[in-house]
Structure 1
C-alpha cells in the first residue's frame, strides 16, 4: 500500500500496481522515464479524485503513454457498476485524454485520432459532477419541507390532510370531435 521505495528507481519505465488497495491519495515520486502504468483493481473511487490523480500523473510522469485504470470505481464501465454504460466510459476516456495528452493506449483500447481531437475540444467538459446531498451536508434549511419545490398548491402539501382544491379552468371540453367513445356500445354504458 506504500510507494515509498519507488523514488530510488528514477529510470523506471514500466510499473504495474494492480490489486494493491491503492486509494484516492495515491502519490507517485517523479518518474520521468515511466511510459507504462497500470493501476487496475485498486480503490480509486471518485471522479473528482480522479481529476487530482490525473493532474498529479501529468506532473510526475510526463512520458506516460500507456495507462490502465480498469476495476476502479473512477473508471466507469459495466464490469464495475451495472448502472454505467458505454457512454459513461467514453466520457471518462475523453476526460482522461484531455488531462494526459501523450497517451497512446488507455485501459483496453488504443487511443484514436478522433478521440484525441474530441478530448482537445470537449474533454474538459466531460467531468462527471454530482450535486451534493442536502442531508449529507448538514444544511438544516435545505432539509425543511417548505424549502423544497413542489408543483402542488400550498394547501395540498401536507400528506396527512387530504383536502380537495378547486380551481377555474379556461378550456372547456365538449367532446364533439372525439373518437374515444366510438368503440363503446350502448349496452356497455
Structure 2
C-alpha cells in the first residue's frame, strides 16, 4: 500500500484502487486524474460534496466507481467509461429517471448499480409512504433501461424480473403531477397483463399515493 500525505490531505492508493474520502470537495481534484487516472480500476469518492464528475475523464480504465454520500443531482454526466461495471450512487440527490438513459450510453458494461437513498429509488430510505410495490415497479423500469444489470441496489436481478422488465418495464415510469396541491404520483402501466411473482425486499407501509391510468386517458 502506498500512502501519500499532501499537506492535510491523506490519499490512499492500494494496487489499482484509489480512495479519496471525506474531504468535502465539490469537484474531483485534477491531480488525482493526472497521477493515477490511467492506472486506477477502482475509485472511491464517498463522503464529499461532489456536484460534478467531470474529473473522471482521466480515469479511462475505471471498472468500479463509488460516489456515495455526495450532492450529485439530475444533471450528473459521466464521461464514456466502457469498462465500468460497478457504480454506487447511494445517498445523493437524484430524482430524474431519464438519467438512466445517460448511464446506458456512458457505461455500456454496467452490471451493478445502487441508487438507495435517492428520491428516484422509492423505498423507506427516502419516503415512509413507499411500499414494496413501488420499489418493484422502479426495479422493472431501471432494468428496462439498463438490461445489462445483474444487481440493482442490494439485490440480485432474477430471471423473472428480466422478463417483466423487457415486457412491461417501459410502462413503469412514475410521472409527478405539476400541481402544487397534488400529493400523488401517476404511474403508467400496460392495459392488461399479470405480473409474475418474484421475491423482493419489503420497504415500508402500503402506499395509496399512486393511481393507475390507461393509455387512452393520457
> Does the pair score TM above 0.5?
yes
Interval containing the TM-score (normalised by the shorter chain): 0.5 to 0.7
Which is helix-richer, 1 or 2?
A: 1
135 and 76 in structure 1: CA distance in 2 versus 1, 3 angstrom threshold:
closer
1:101-120 superposed Cα distances (whole Å, 9 cap, x missing partner): 00000001000000000000
SS at match of 1:103: coil
Question: Which stretches of structure 1, 4 residues or longer, exceed 6 Å deviation after superposition?
Answer: none
Which is strand-richer, 1 or 2?
A: 2
Q: CA deviation at 1:130?
A: 2.6
> Are residues 1:107 and 2:153 paired?
yes
Q: CA deviation at 1:25?
A: 0.6
Q: CA deviation at 1:80?
A: 1.6
Alignment root-mean-square deviation, CA: 1.4
1:92 aligns with 138
TM-score by length of 1: 0.67
Query: How do 1:35-50 residues align onto structure 2 when only pairs under 5 Å count?
Result: 35-45=85-95, 49-50=96-97
SS at match of 1:120: helix
Partners of 1:21 and 1:54 lie apart in 2 by 18
SS at match of 1:67: strand
SS at match of 2:174: coil
Q: 2:60 aligns with which of 10, 19, 31?
A: 10
| Bigger Cα Rg | 1
1:61 aligns with 107
Q: CA deviation at 1:20?
A: 1.1
Partners of 1:125 and 1:135 lie apart in 2 by 25
Partners of 2:105 and 2:70 lie apart in 1 by 22
Q: Which has the higher contact order (CA 8 A, sep 6+)?
A: 1
1:101-153 superposed Cα distances (whole Å, 9 cap, x missing partner): 000000010000000000000000001113321779xxxxxxxxxxxxxxxxx
Partners of 2:150 and 2:93 lie apart in 1 by 24
Q: CA deviation at 1:10?
A: 1.0
Q: 2:77 aligns with which of 21, 27, 42?
A: 27
Q: Is the 8 A contact 2:116 2:153 kept in 1?
A: yes
